[in-house]
Amino acid sequence: MRELNPAVEVLLLQRRGDISAVEAASRLEALESRDFRREVRLLTRPQIFNQYNFGISGGGENYSFNTSLLYNTNANTVIGDDATQIVINTGGIFNFSDKLKVRSNINYTRSKANIGFAGADAATLINQESLLSRIVDDNGNRVPMQGLAGVQALAPASQVGSDLALAQGFPYPLTFNTLDEIDNNNNVNRSNNIRLQAALDYNISEDLTATASYQYEMNQARNQQVFNENTFVVRSLVTQFAQLDETTGRPTDFAIPLGGFLDVNTQESRSFTGRLQLNYDKTFKDGLHSLTALAGYEIRRTVLESNTVNRVFGFDERTLLGIPVDLTTTFPLAIDDNGGSELIPNRSPNGSGLLFEENRFLSYYANAAYTFNNTYTLTGSIRLDDTNLFGASDEFRNIPLFSVGARWNLLQDFFYDSGVVNGLNLSASFGRTGNVARGSTPFLVGNIAQEMNLFNNRSAVIASPPNPFLRLERTSSFNLGLDFDFFTSNRVSGSVEYYRNESTDLLANLAVNSTLGINNNTQNVGALTNEGVNAVLSVVAIDTEDFKYTTTGNFSFNVNTVTKSDVNPNDVNNLLGGGILEGFDRNTIFSLNYAGLDFEGAPQYVAADNTITDFTDRPLQAEDLIDSGTTVPRFFGSWINEFSYKNLTLRTLTTFRADYVFRADPESGLIFDPGTVVQSPTLNAGRGAAQRWRRPGDENLTRVPRIPTLEEVFEDRFNLFPFADDHIARADHIRLNQVILSYAFPEKFLKNTGLQSLNIGLQADNVAVWNFNRFDVDPEAFIERPLTLSLQISTSF
């Protein structure tokens, strides 16, 4: 007897005749006011970050050092989810001679995080429950919940069902309540991170210097999760594996012993980086010619090892003892509709729990710039990155990328000493790069597994199928830019840049016909041009001794067009699923022109020839689709304002994105799709469920279809409803991202404290969003992003 959706329960009671239709209607009405999304506030709190920073620096003629200590505490949205971190950083520079300098730095970070229940952000918690669920009743008592999360061995029981199980001799109550789970949650991550850096600078000659550097970083992390006997995971799994007496049905033995569970994971990552670089910097003839160049070589290796230790059962937190269980026998499940048998769940199906991943990288690079008379500059660069791309053929790696450019300092030629123009540069560049498809190779790649099947044999699966026709994606780019600085001291400054990129043999993951054996594959799908403008303007509006106001605007415009597509342009599924079409933006959303309901409440659409159809007589074709806009903003930018009065500074960051759209899909909860409800009855119905067509005549009042029968669910007319253009909305929005208020204590206050500086800052993130869509949601996060507050204190000695 599982805990039911309260509305379903009322309807079942009515069907069984336990309550009258009137009573049922009034109970349903009472439920209408419930909304689990509000209930979730019991589990959440504002996010608060605190940051304290202490720094010491000093030095002498031949050496300098700095040390800092950083302490952070984060209290995250879900109660019980928090973290603390200590960072110690110390570094120094030693000048051994005019020619040789050594730099070093050591950084140590220790972190501890309490992972909240279900790992969770508020959105996860909401999605786990029916919208009609409650966490506590009107008297504040915790009540049984549905706990829809699929992780449990058993569906949470109702109070009656749980009491029955207890009376039958089962050891634990079987109800579920999220607050109980939060109380009993004990999931801790601890990690230690060490980073060592050393570098040697050597002046070979006046113009030529060499730098050798080395970095080693290691991170060790350990996750320990203790499930005590009050957690639902333990209660349900132990119950499920109880062995019952055949005649009485009472538990006589427990394949999983009573007691808690202990899960431990450890992980270690290491990386090594070495770099050798030569720098050349020379001017000739009193600065008429100047040449700078550098060339370097970098080698890097990263290793990630992890170990998922098998679960300890019957774990006692006081004695640290566990009880071994039989992981190789299938046990009949005590509470199972199908009367099935299962193995006790095992955390490391490959038998060892070990994973090892290593990556290696080599890079060679060189840049050079030549300037004539401080006015004309030519630049060139080349870079070659090589890695252990597993399974890659040689033609697939070793892709050198290069660029060449020129820059003209107009100040020198036209505005020298004008007094108004401080700087004016015109620049242009051209470059080419190549992109490799990571994760897809010309060769067949297998994955070895210890199969959890009846034979328990070793076997392998295909990790990626052979893809011998794959070509490199190549991109060439062209940039033209102008930067300027007017009046004194950067009073008005900024830049304008135009770019145009052309990509050929675009790589994309494409849906393919399952008849081929797989249903998606990375392929070269076409060509694309992408062009746009970026502009920055910064103005120091007020600049007095006490008061200063600076405002900076960033503005970008971007548009792309698919110039060639190798994908079947008539493949409707591909287009509805985000496929590309020649002549359109790569991120175009294709929709159906929705025509409302027929007199039986089924959806209808406007076809290409402007007739109204429900696609029962003929299938949907590509011509019937309409362009509903793109999912990527064409215009975007930011506006930063900084006011300072004496030692007090206020900084705001506002961003905007415009000219793009989003599609509200059934999972978002913003729309009601009757077909989804039939196919996945456990999902929460979205907005508009109450407006659905119910009786003839409703088609004049609503555009939401009726609930289809099980057969109709497969018909195009119902299937296509989520793709109706009614569900497209403008994603344009303005966001006040950040407000920072900071205060630097003046020196006279610090005189007797020994401190060099003391700063206090208060930062607020996700402050406000203005949207322009009819769903009235933040188009980038359908569930409101929580306001985050941070306190920062930093000092130096």
- Contact status: 230 vs other proteins (CB under 8 A): no
* DSSP bridge pairs for 293: 280, 368
Minimum CB distance to other proteins, residue 713 (Å) = 5
Burial class of residue 681 (count of CB atoms within 10 Å of its CB; 0-12, 13-18, 19+)? exposed
Minimum CB distance to other proteins, residue 767 (Å) = 39
Nearer to other proteins, 547 or 714 (CB): 714
Minimum CB distance to other proteins, residue 728 (Å) = 19
Tokens of 282: 């020379």
Site for other proteins in 680-719 (CB under 8 A): 710-711, 713-716, 719
CA distance 744 to 499: 41
Neighbours of 286 (CB within 10 A): 6
- Ranges of H-type helices in 178-275: 178-184, 232-240
Site for other proteins in 176-195 (CB under 8 A): none
Nearer to other proteins, 92 or 332 (CB): 332
CA distance 767 to 786: 9
Neighbours of 174 (CB within 10 A): 27
Measured in degrees and rounded to the nearest 5, phi and psi for residue 719 equal -60, -35
Looking at 190-198, 270-278, 408-416, 440-448, which segment touches other proteins (CB under 8 A)? 440-448
DSSP 242-263: EEEPTTT--EEEESS-SSEEEE
Q: What is the 3-state secondary structure (H, E, C) of 664-731?
A: CCHHHCCCCCHHHHHHCCCCCCCCCHHHCCCCCCHHHCCCCCCCCCCCHHHCHHHHCHHHEHHHEEEC
Among 33, 139, 319, 457, binds other proteins (CB under 8 A): 457
What is the CB-side half-sphere exposure of residue 134 using CA atoms within 13 A? 15
- Contact status: 521 vs other proteins (CB under 8 A): yes
Minimum CB distance to other proteins, residue 334 (Å) = 14
- Contact status: 480 vs other proteins (CB under 8 A): no
Nearer to other proteins, 324 or 468 (CB): 468
Among 204, 460, 541, 768, binds other proteins (CB under 8 A): 460
- Contact status: 246 vs other proteins (CB under 8 A): yes
Looking at 4-12, 89-97, 178-186, 512-520, which segment touches other proteins (CB under 8 A)? 512-520
Residues contacting residue 251 through CB under 8 Å, at least 6 positions apart: 168, 169, 170, 171, 242, 243, 244, 245, 334
CA distance 651 to 550: 10
Provide the mask over 575-614, with x wherever binding to other proteins is found by CB under 8 A and - wherever it is not.
----------------------------------------
Tokens of 605: 């659409």
- Contact status: 298 vs other proteins (CB under 8 A): no
Site for other proteins in 614-653 (CB under 8 A): 619
Looking at 338-346, 474-482, 637-645, 682-690, which segment touches other proteins (CB under 8 A)? 338-346
Site for other proteins in 115-154 (CB under 8 A): none
CA distance 721 to 591: 10
Provide the mask over 381-410, with x wherever binding to other proteins is found by CB under 8 A and - wherever it is not.
-----xxx-xx-------------------
Site for other proteins in 347-376 (CB under 8 A): 349-350, 355-358, 360, 362
Minimum CB distance to other proteins, residue 278 (Å) = 17
Site for other proteins in 24-43 (CB under 8 A): none
- Contact status: 466 vs other proteins (CB under 8 A): yes
- Contact status: 444 vs other proteins (CB under 8 A): yes
Nearer to other proteins, 289 or 458 (CB): 458
DSSP 125-179: HHHTS-TT--SB-TTS-B-------TTSSSPPBPHHHHHHHHHTT-SS-----HH
- Contact status: 492 vs other proteins (CB under 8 A): no
# chain residues binding other proteins, by CB under 8 A: 73
Among 62, 373, 418, 519, binds other proteins (CB under 8 A): 519
Among 109, 467, 534, 649, binds other proteins (CB under 8 A): 467
Among 104, 668, 679, 742, binds other proteins (CB under 8 A): 679
CA distance 742 to 193: 30
Minimum CB distance to other proteins, residue 573 (Å) = 5
Check residue 322 and report its DSSP letter: -
Among 17, 60, 140, 339, binds other proteins (CB under 8 A): 339
CA distance 237 to 172: 10
Minimum CB distance to other proteins, residue 662 (Å) = 20
Residues contacting residue 400 through CB under 8 Å, at least 6 positions apart: 382, 383, 384
Looking at 149-157, 166-174, 507-515, 765-773, which segment touches other proteins (CB under 8 A)? 507-515
Regarding beta strands 47-59 and 788-796, do their DSSP bridges make them parallel or antiparallel, or are they unpaired? parallel
